[in-house]
Amino acid sequence: MKVSSIHRSLLLALSFSFDLVTSAKAPLLINPPGLAPLPSLKQATAAAAAAGLELGNIQGDILIGMKKDKELFFFFHINDVPTFRSHLSADIHPLVTDVTELLSNDTQPATLVNIAFSQAGLNTLGVTDQLGDSLFSAGQAAGAADLGDGPGAGTGNWEPAFVTGTIHGVLILASSTTDNINSQLASLQATLGSSITESYRLLGEARPDDQNGHEHFGFKDGISQPMINGFNGVINGVPLFPTQSPAIDAGHILLGESGDRSMDSRPPWAKDGSFLVFRQLKQLVPEFDNFLVANTPSDMTPELLGARMVGRWKSGAPIFLSPHADDPDLGNNSTRNNNFNYTSSDPDFIFESNQERCPFSAHIRKTNPRADFTIQSPFPNHIIRSGIPYGPEVSPAEAAAGVSTVERGLAFVAYQSDISVGFHTLQNVWANNQNFVFGKNISTNPGIGFDPIIGANQGAARNVTGLDPSSANGVITMLTDFVVSRGGEYFFSPPISALLTPLGA
């Protein structure tokens, strides 16, 4: 065992024995009913052994998903490279939380610590190896207009810190309390001193009470995630969670693993890292609610219109399985709420044209077309979503006026091994492209419109079809975006070993 591994194991054992003599601590992760299941530590260990995956070298946030309670994104700029590199090895490396630690309350730290670097950050650290992803290398601001962000060159609504390309890295701190996060951050800042400066920070918080696990429009989020071989996918030919999305090879998310399309061009030290797409997506909640009321066709309710825009009811129940009314039992049941692929055994159901159960443009169908997508099967365009809501609840005054006066939204995080195949295809090629049609629908449905939730047209109007089940070709024109990009950055979340070499010193 390497010295660094002994150090990490010792810390883990100490924190574990400390837990034994103190009262039960609050779990680090939330677990609202209906969210994508995590494996037990035993299941994950068996899956990893079968697939040859080293879960202890993978940063925890990559495979955990949208189950954080409080989460701080602390963006930083490196001023003093030698000092930062030595602290990265000596002080940050032992703290970084791996996947296995998060799978049991006994081994979870009080605060998850993960770290990732932009291309500018890797350049600053003197790491010259190319990771093999041109979007990562260019940085997110360079492609803002391409993502549909607007106005103008794309960065008009962006948070200034994201525009300049001077963010070198992000520390991700997550816990059950903001006090824990603040004390972990204070300790890290005391250690790192002036070797870094803060560029920007965003605090995410799971919503309270019955909205726990729901994003700000009110829909349960984090339900559908790809199952990963070597973690929660297929073990020795048997799916661990057979009613979930089909399992994909770990290399769709992790560099250098089976399924990574650019496996041969990755530097060896980057194996088991993942590209982290961060986006601060502002949500105009009272405006969205008003839009639903004002635009509901006479044969629908605002709730149904909203559900058809998303593809799920607020409870998480998929409209494809429950097309006429919400079904909270279905929404809460993770063995049923993701068990569909838009096909049906009903002989009257014409798959190529039927939008009665779910519009082709619905957000979850645009971003994961399931059996619609026959051009390539299985298709490789998958991401693990690990974001969290940010900003306060809508106040009674905002709801009454129908106008947002404070910012709230989704701190969107997506992990994948290829940004172009993952996030960028979902946003640019599918959500923003009103003429994109999936394999099964090519002949009958040219031009299904934008994704009504995240489809973006640089602030200009967006047409959406299929929202009214009785008029599939009817067009609803959306003059306002209810999700507005405030920018972001592309990062690389390295394997934990790389924090020693080549990133540390």
Q: Which residues bind ligand N7H (CB under 6 A)?
A: 215, 217, 219, 221-224, 281, 283, 310, 312, 363-364, 367-368, 383, 385, 409-410, 412, 423, 426-427, 453-454, 483
Q: Which value, to the nearest 10 degrees, does the dihedral of the CA atoms of residues 156, 487, 436, 470 take?
A: -90
Q: Maximum distance among all alpha carbons in the chain?
A: 69
Tell me, yes or no, if 221 is annotated catalytic.
Answer: yes
Residue 316 CB, nearest approach to ligand N7H (Å): 6
Residue 402 CB, nearest approach to ligand N7H (Å): 18
CA distance 342 to 339: 10
Residue number, 102 or 426, with CB nearest to ligand N7H: 426
Residue 333 CB, nearest approach to ligand N7H (Å): 14
User: What tokens appear for 120 in the block?
Assistant: 């500018």
Question: In what helix (H) or strand (E) does residue 185 lie, and over which residues does it extend?
Answer: helix 178-192
**Who contacts 285 (Cβ-Cβ below 8 Å, separation ≥6)?**
216, 217, 394, 398, 404, 408, 482
Q: At 136, is the secondary structure helix, strand, or coil?
A: helix
Residue number, 84 or 412, with CB nearest to ligand N7H: 412
Residue 69 CB, nearest approach to ligand N7H (Å): 17
Residue number, 175 or 334, with CB nearest to ligand N7H: 334
Q: What are phi and psi of 90, to 5 degrees?
A: -80, -35
Residue number, 78 or 284, with CB nearest to ligand N7H: 284
Residue number, 15 or 340, with CB nearest to ligand N7H: 340
Residue 137 CB, nearest approach to ligand N7H (Å): 20
User: What tokens appear for 47 in the block?
Assistant: 């899956």
DSSP 446-466: S--B--TTT---TTS-EEEES
CA distance 445 to 442: 6
* Strand intervals (E) in 224-328: 227-228, 234-235, 238-239, 247-248, 274-283
CA distance 461 to 291: 14
Distance of CA 406 to the CA centre of its chain: 23
Residue number, 355 or 427, with CB nearest to ligand N7H: 427
Q: Active-site residue among 61, 221, 372, 468?
A: 221
385 strand-pairing partners: 414
**Who contacts 378 (Cβ-Cβ below 8 Å, separation ≥6)?**
246, 248
Q: Count of alpha carbons within 13 Å of 190, Cβ hemisphere only?
A: 6
Residue number, 67 or 85, with CB nearest to ligand N7H: 67
**Contact predicate 358/320, CB 8 Å:** yes
Residue 215 CB, nearest approach to ligand N7H (Å): 4
Residue number, 89 or 457, with CB nearest to ligand N7H: 457
Residue 23 CB, nearest approach to ligand N7H (Å): 33
Residue 188 CB, nearest approach to ligand N7H (Å): 29
Question: In what helix (H) or strand (E) does residue 304 lie, and over which residues does it extend?
Answer: helix 302-310
Q: Count of alpha carbons within 13 Å of 160, Cβ hemisphere only?
A: 1
Q: At 278, is the secondary structure helix, strand, or coil?
A: strand
The residues assigned a catalytic role are 221
